[in-house]
Amino acid sequence: MFSINFIFLISILIILTTTQHPFIIINDIPREMIYEATRTEIGGVRCYTGFILANKTDLATLFFIFFESQNDPSTDPVALWLQGGPGCSSEAGLFLENGPISLNSDGSLSQNPYSWNSNLNLLYIDNPAGTGFSFSGTNQFVKDETSLANELYEALRIFFDKFHDFSHHDFYVFGESYAGKYIPALAYKIIANGNYLNLVGIAMGDGFTDPINQVKHYTEYASSTSVIPVNKMTAINNLQDECVSYIEQKKWSEAATAFQNTLDTLSSLGGGVNGLDIRLYGDYNFDYLTTFLNLEQTKYLLGVEELTWAFCSDDVGNALNDDIPKSVAHLVDFILENNLKVMVYSGQFDLEVNHIGTTAWLENLHWSGVNNFINSKKVIWKVDSNVAGYTRNYSNLWQVIIVGAGHLCPVI
């Protein structure tokens, strides 16, 4: 333990700068002072961090980290990244998946050559309040996607008002897992309010968007990958049917419990298989990220010295428990009909939100172009002559299956 802590401290002292700004809520900061007030550096990379009061009633206060594009910040699009959960922090995406700085398991930092801010201005928000460094001053947490989208929309409205230089850029929203609900809910809110944020498109990785159609396909995926013994399939089939039945009856709490039972049983019957990546057994261990983000030096840099970071929030997850079985596929229909670009991508080895279930919900959309999408040709996607995945597209909808990836696709 001493050696690990020592490595963390050395990495902080050597790699991070001593740049710091205090805890700051940007709502009342004048535009001309916003960059100076929020500027800091992590791993030698400049960024801007702070809080946005997004709901004055519940004192919902959302934490953000913003990185300018490495290419041309003045013209490149802005992209928001949202983690799933519900209740998991977007710092996971930043440091483990797609941000300009990677945190290694030994506590050291390195710059990520594949960072998504190579051509994007990249914004991370801990969403909803109670997640990561975000907090609720009244300990009240959102219970549905409408409330969540209202809170996040207000935060974005304030962000673009303060960082006004970026307010006219094209805007995209990306995320994974339970963000497959957050993103359609937010996009619907943006479009319904006149799309003053210039939203152009969304992308959802391994998104849990339409449970009733996704839950039905666990036995099919488990069978096709030989994760579960054939003689155990009946048990899984019964559990997923129970979950679907509760959803059809709108018994949301019971459906959420049945869903969790299905996931637990899949792992158990699979010998402890990791539901996020069937090549692994046992859970991921990202304790080093928790350690890093709770170091005083790290919190000093981020302006969050009085707060404690957790990978996922039980409070947020519990508040959204009855939301888990509900579908937002109808919102995806609305987004597509309004001609925004939609990409849905899946990791080949993700069991919990597998590509078979994802294909099912996409093919059950009520969008006017769905039949043409169903009949579209699957194309092999190659990178440097190597097969990277399979894609299909019709009009403004793309589906991608990424070869060699699990649930956390950028981690591979």
Active-site pick, 58, 206, 210, 350: 350
Active-site pick, 136, 177, 267, 327: 177
Look-up of token digits 């981690």: 411
356 token code pair: 């078979």
Residue 204 neighbours by CB under 8 Å, 6+ apart? 174, 175, 176, 179, 180, 183, 184, 342, 343, 344, 345
Bridge partners for 201 per DSSP: 172, 341
Closest C-alpha to 239, from 214, 209, 218, 267: 218
Bridge partners for 273 per DSSP: 281
Give the whole-angstrom CA distance, residue 408 versus residue 283.
Answer: 13
Q: Label the pairing between strands 379-383 and 171-176.
A: unpaired
Give yes or no: 177 in active site. yes
The answer to whether 99 and 116 have CB atoms below 8 angstroms apart is yes
Give yes or no: 169 in active site. no
Active-site pick, 169, 217, 355, 407: 407
What is the 3-state composition of the chain as percent helix, strand, coil, each rounded to the nearest 5?
40, 20, 35
DSSP secondary structure, 270-329, as one string: TTSEETTEEEEES----HHHHHHHTSHHHHHHHT-TT----SB-HHHHHHTGGGTT---H
Give the whole-angstrom CA distance, residue 51 versus residue 303.
Answer: 9
Residues annotated as catalytic (active site), given as ranges: 177, 350, 407
